[in-house]
A and B are shown apart, each in its own frame.
Chain A
């Protein structure tokens, strides 16, 4: 239990720092209408009292639906379209008469993802269910009648998906992909949160797979999963980095291809570091003191998905998969769409390969975890002067995943200093968001020990120089 509590605390930063969070969506890739032979039956089909709604308690087998309705915010994804924020977003985005977000296809694409498949719905399906069972597990008509039979249970995950439409949830790449459609974006499915939407009021998307996974109110037994894959948490981080970057690059490629078309602004500002622009101006910024890497005042691309943590996750053997060329193109004004598309294509292929390799690689043990942690800490130390809040948070999330895996492998073996340092780092990253703020307003103050404002508070330098894992 201690581990779980700890884990929750460590990872909640991914969400809590953005003071208001809604819009959890978790969908399976919807196959294009003509190819998908299966129909959506609606969550009610899973929720019978004798099946997945036995009401035994959180996370207990056969209480999956119980757990989901009781604890999982996806359950409320559709409801959120009726809240005041959604109303305001509609007003900001469209002139009066635009109607409710709950009837707007762009919103429904994530907030009730099965809605788009009208030809494949049965009477049981309802738009009200938001992100329901089939949004992630696949349309149920193919497997509902057989998925409990011994013969079905003998099949491989791939076969279950291919023949019966039950989505493979047993490998991390598939899992990440499942979340990423909504939480990062998928142009082909109309699942897009661009800067227009965020300015109108939508929370920013900063998905990090391992953190979300650790936080997720699970309707399955984590112990069973860990037995199957002991390094689950750390691998989820590395795969999340690599495959997350791939999805983000696919989104970028699509955006570049559509650049300038209606509703496809270019440059698309969500591609860039939010807090580079969105900060109150000050005369003593770190950039002013330490200088800019590139052209001063340029939009810095990809702090969240394509920073140094991706480099670390790729390790030396896959270093070439890092999207350096995309970075080069995106970091210069003009952001030539043609060149961005070309460079994305190459990087996507390599990242896809790297993620698969990693998913099939042998389980990590403590030495690998230690080495990764060292690299993350080192990166934070070296780049302390130029890292953004995003980059520090990514390092923190990586370390948190490693910390979790370490305690999975050896519950009493985690150095207590490491745990303590992680809590300090988490607090530091969280506490730079004052009440009511969605941006790290106090971030810059936490670098200089000279300023009176931080005299009694901790700075990033102090935490990074004291991070101890041995």
Chain B
């Protein structure tokens, strides 16, 4: 059995041992990270630990999705 086969609830309970930022660090880097993503730059390499935090923290993940969506909206309006 690999991690991919785990029940989703188990995955959320166990999390990942990948190094990750905390919520405050994520907030501090979020604007830079999203702009890097939208430019097609290697955001995960340039801001290590942020993606892992988004996987483990639904609240920060929501705010990441919203910032990205808002900037995408701005870019076409």
Pair from one complex: no
